[in-house]
């Protein structure tokens, strides 16, 4: 990880891209039920985005660099897991 600023930017860019993909899929769907599910995915991802940014701003154990690295690694892992989960849900709707 190069910087906290870079991590925040990565979180924003990655979650925004997933949300854009979800919106594009939502416009192409015919059923209102499916459109509602896409909106729920976007809301869930938005909440995760806010949670991740909050965690970046408040790292655990600031005086111990090992704990800080582990904290930021867990944030990155959670970001990737949330995006993968969102894409899996969107894939099921697209099929």
Task: Band the pLDDT of 3: cuts 50, 70, 90.
Answer: confident
The count of domains in the chain is 1
Alpha-helix residue ranges (DSSP H) falling in 1-95: 4-28, 32-57, 65-94
- Residue 95: what pLDDT? 81
**pLDDT value at residue 65:** 86
Domain around 56: 4-94
pLDDT at 50: 97
Tens digits of residue pLDDT in 29-84: 889 999 999 999 999 999 999 999 999 999 877 888 888 899 999 999 999 999 99
* CA distances to 7, 8, 34, 85 from 27, in Å: 30, 29, 10, 20
């Amino acid at each position: 990880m190069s910087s906290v600023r870079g991590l925040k930017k990565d979180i924003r860019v990655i979650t925004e891209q997933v949300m854009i993909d979800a919106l594009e899929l939502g416009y192409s769907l015919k059923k209102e039920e499916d459109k509602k599910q896409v909106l729920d995915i976007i809301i869930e991802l938005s909440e995760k985005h806010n949670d991740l940014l909050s965690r970046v701003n408040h790292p655990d154990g600031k005086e111990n660099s090992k704990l800080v690295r582990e904290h930021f690694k867990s944030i990155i892992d959670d970001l990737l897991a949330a995006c993968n989960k969102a894409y899996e849900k969107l894939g099921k709707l697209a099929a």
